[in-house]
Amino acid sequence: MPETRKKTNLLFIFFRISFVAVGIVLAIIWASREQRWRKLTEINPLVFACSLLIFIIAQIIIGLRWWLLLRSQSIHIAFFSAVRLHFLGLFYNNCMPGSVGGDLIRAWYVTKHTDKRFEAALSVFVDRIVGLVSTLIIAVFFYTLFLRGKSIGDLGPQKESVFVGIIKEHKTLLFWFIVFVIFVLSGFLLYGKSRAKLKKAFTYISDRVFRAAEKLKKAILLYCKKPFTLLAAFGLTVLLQIMTITGFWFVGRDLGISVSIKYYYVFFTLTWVLGAIPVSIGGAVVVEVMLMKMFSDFAGVADDSALLALALCQRFVWLLASLPGAAIHLFGAHLPKDFFIDYDRPIA
């Protein structure tokens, strides 16, 4: 790995860890005030366990979705091999701070199961796209069906966002901060070496975008020949998303959050998409903050303690469901039992 790229990856890892660490410290301080953490001790263990079980079943369905995409390209790995690789990727996405994400891990190891390496790696990319697009469609569908045209005042008691209040209170400081950022960026552009580094970074990002676009183009050409497989993948995604969110709705009801389940279908799916932005580890802090703000600002839920418990319950479910991925890696269950198993009757 070139030295520059290695330094960039280390800086990226440091940023993600720092982002999560600062978020956790601020969350602990905020939760300590007025004992907002108290709802965590009131969660019914049986309800939480049911939510965890539903989420694990949903992950197995994701493994099935990816397995179907692989088979559409005549890659015949065993179903449980696909499931194991998915749980391995889930562990890396939710628990590991490194620059190598779960999708890259899946793409790397699935190529050990077949000689069709390009198609196998591309299936991971397609699987991710199907998941994100389906999640957005679910959010838009439920918003259009239930919440379209409603203002905050219609959805619940009017409540000024904490974020908006901070901006109003410190608007002068914010203005000078923006001026400072513009000044620093201008200095970078005027200074020769800095300008060269920015140009290099822009070239690198453009190259990555171009490669992603090429992969998307090839994926469209390959998978458009299998439209029923894509429809099946979409249907499975809708099923697992609804299952998972319904499980968290039961947790919310147990915590005393009595809003309609339609808010869950919109808010949870939107925060999952936002959590895919790689600024933290597994969307930590980003997902929790956005979920609490949406329920508070748009559904009128005033119980911060219950919202905190709901957001943390989701995080605990994700982490617990990711642990099998660690065991799979430790025991080598993600590796094929033979050099090639790309046959009609796979042996692993």
What is the mean pLDDT for each group of 10 consecutive residues in the chain (348 residues)?
56 63 68 68 91 96 92 86 92 72 83 80 85 85 71 45 52 69 64 65 73 71 78 90 94 91 91 81 84 88 88 93 90 65 44
Residue 158's pLDDT is 44
130: helix, strand or coil: helix
Residue 318's pLDDT is 94
Structure-token match 């965890």, residue found: 52
Residue 54's pLDDT is 96
Return all residues near 190 (Cβ < 8 A) that are at least 6 apart. Answer: none
Residue 12's pLDDT is 59
In degrees and rounded to multiples of 5, residue 347 shows phi and psi of: -105, 0
Distance between CA atoms of 76 and 119, rounded to whole angstroms? 12
Return all residues near 239 (Cβ < 8 A) that are at least 6 apart. Answer: 61
- To the nearest 10°, report the CA torsion of 192, 198, 199, 201: 150
Residue 246's pLDDT is 95
